[in-house]
Amino acid sequence: MFGHCGTRRLQNFLKDRLGTSIGKHLNETVNDCTDCLIEKSRCRSELLPTRLTTESLDIVSCHLMGPFKEANINSGRWALMVRDMNSTCGECHIIKAKSDAATVLQGIITRWEVKTGRKLKTLHSDGAGKFWSKGMNN
């Protein structure tokens, strides 16, 4: 989603003298943009107040991207991104085949569990079934 800069950011531009042709009455101008108002009304947080994370490994999000047209590092054509929602710690792994995603994800989760001394509570993905295997159910 793309749109206008927020009012606060525009005011910072003016303070730093980065924008000279921007009007001085920003609140009146920016708040009247109907496209921005419609798009901002659609934005909703996935984490409701009852589901906010308070500790590491409460919620981990993962996403598998690819296949890329050109092979990348280690001749991989897929990228697996994993992120802890509380600490915002994340990793990106380049893998050769889509079938390797579950194994790599299990390794990352196991390493994080050993490092933090906590067990993973919720694994969030787009639900496409890329990671599900007999080993993931354990």
Q: Which pLDDT value is given to residue 2?
A: 43
pLDDT tens per residue across span 71-95 = 776 788 888 999 998 888 889 998 8
Q: Which pLDDT value is given to residue 67?
A: 85
pLDDT tens per residue across span 18-72 = 555 555 555 544 455 665 555 555 555 555 555 566 788 988 999 988 888 877 7
Straight-line distance from the first to the last Cα atom of the chain, in angstroms, rounded to the nearest whole number: 37
109 versus 41: which is more confidently predicted? 109
Q: Is the pLDDT of residue 1 over 60?
A: no
What is the Cβ-side half-sphere exposure of residue 118, based on CA atoms within 13 angstroms?
13
Q: Which pLDDT value is given to residue 138?
A: 55
**DSSP string covering 67-117:** --SS--GGG--EEEEEEETTT--EEEEEES-GGGHHHHHHHHHHHHHHHHT
Q: How far apart are CA 77 and CA 95, in angstroms?
A: 6
Distances in Å between the alpha carbon of 112 and those of 1, 3, 5, 116? 32, 37, 37, 6
Q: Which pLDDT value is given to residue 55?
A: 85
